[in-house]
Amino acid sequence: MAKIKAGVLGATGAVGQRFIEGLKSHPWFELTSLAASERSAGKKYREAAKWRLESELPDDIAEMTVVNVDPREVDADIVFSALPAADAMSVEPAFAAAGCAVASNTSSYRMVEDVPLLIPECNHEHLDIIKVQREKRGWEGFLTTNPNCTTIMFTLPLKPLMKFGIESVHMASMQAVSGAGYEGVPSMAILGNVIPYIGGEEEKCETEPQKILGHFDGERIINANFSISASCHRVPVMDGHTEALWVKMRDNPTPEEVRQAMLDFDPGLDDLPTSPKKALIVKDEPDRPQPRLDRMRGNGMSVSVGRIRSGIRFICMGHNTVRGAAGASILNAELLVKKGLL
């Protein structure tokens, strides 16, 4: 089978590089187009971007010429968007209108009614809203989104707890600097320090999960009915968001019941190449998960959970630029293929 042509919008930034890393030897997608701002367009990728990942940049990609973020210049069946939110607002619809599938990591359209906000393990059935979207907007292509990186880490473990009747969630995050992009956090701000504020993050964490864990009734998504109160903090960690959760549930399950529900969680996505063997890994050691030791589990796509104790309290942790960003979009795209949308 011929590979599907894939482009990356915003290819030079931190998440753009993770997209390239995830797509460079993908079995279903072929990287055909790298798009970035005017400053980069026309240059070889090697010159336009300073490669900052620990994995190596393949020579053939380094030699690709960067194009403008314009549907006429991008040759692709699907584009992965790592654009700044302001740019995405106008650019992503233009690609969808031009017949492209858009898998966006940007926040602009996440909470828009007819746009699916996907974690394949949680709500793959929300994809059906694309019919509504296309009809309403008259697009040949379509637009899908994945959640904020902090949202993903705790929404995944909430999924198997839905059956206990979630009533309220408290979440305190300890987030890695890579979540803010390469220039996002100056070293003088964070070396040996904690910054107890990340602009807009708490709002995203308090609204996205209810949509993701909501019910699609054929026409619209009805949000899940529980409250979330978040407190978000930056810590001196390169990659990996660690989150402390309190979940109050109607059925008042024991920690062991919660643990078992997480162990039993099987989203049935083994046929997707980027899907980890286990979406949720339960750690039984008292001091895990830890970002340094656990963020690369499942090639960076697993969320690790530990310290499940009365409250119900637990810790969850995952790789914010893989599971929480580029990998999330790529998994969404694989789901599109599986569902015949691509």
Residue ranges that bind a copy of itself, judged by CB under 8 A: 14, 52-54, 56, 170, 172, 174, 177-178, 182-197, 199, 229, 231, 233, 235-238, 240, 242, 244, 246, 286-293, 296-297, 306-307, 311, 313, 315, 317
Secondary structure element (H or E) that encloses residue 315, with its range: strand 313-318
> What are residue 280's DSSP bridge partners?
303
Q: Which has the closest alpha carbon to 278: 318, 309, 332, 335?
A: 318
> If we measure between CA atoms, which residue out of 71, 66, 117, 115 comes closest to residue 329?
117
Is 100 a known active-site residue? no
Q: Which is nearer to a copy of itself, 244 or 337 (CB)?
A: 244
User: Quick one: how far is CA 62 from the chain centroid?
Assistant: 25
Q: How many CA atoms lie within 13 A of 179 on its CB side?
A: 31
205 catalytic residue (yes or no): no
CB of 201 to a copy of itself, least distance (A): 12
Neighbouring CB atoms inside 10 A of 290's CB total 17
Q: How far is the CB of 102 from a copy of itself (least distance, A)?
A: 27
Q: Which is nearer to a copy of itself, 139 or 164 (CB)?
A: 164
Q: How far, in whole angstroms, is CA 44 from its chain's centroid?
A: 28
Token couple for 29: 């997608």
**Where does 89-165 show beta strands of DSSP type E?**
101-104, 142-145
Nearer to a copy of itself by C-beta: 90 or 252? 252
Residue of 149, 205, 232, 316 marked catalytic: 149
Question: Which residue's CB is nearer to a copy of itself, number 134 or number 233?
Answer: 233
- Within 13 Å, how many C-alpha atoms sit on residue 336's CB side? 30
Shortest distance (Å) from residue 79 CB to a copy of itself: 25
Closer of 56 and 113 to a copy of itself (Cβ): 56
Least distance (Å) from a copy of itself to the CB of residue 187? 4
- Give me the catalytic one of 122, 241, 316, 319: 241
CB 318 within 8 A of CB 304: yes
Question: Minimum distance between the CB of residue 165 and a copy of itself, rounded to whole angstroms?
Answer: 19
Residues tagged active-site: 149, 241
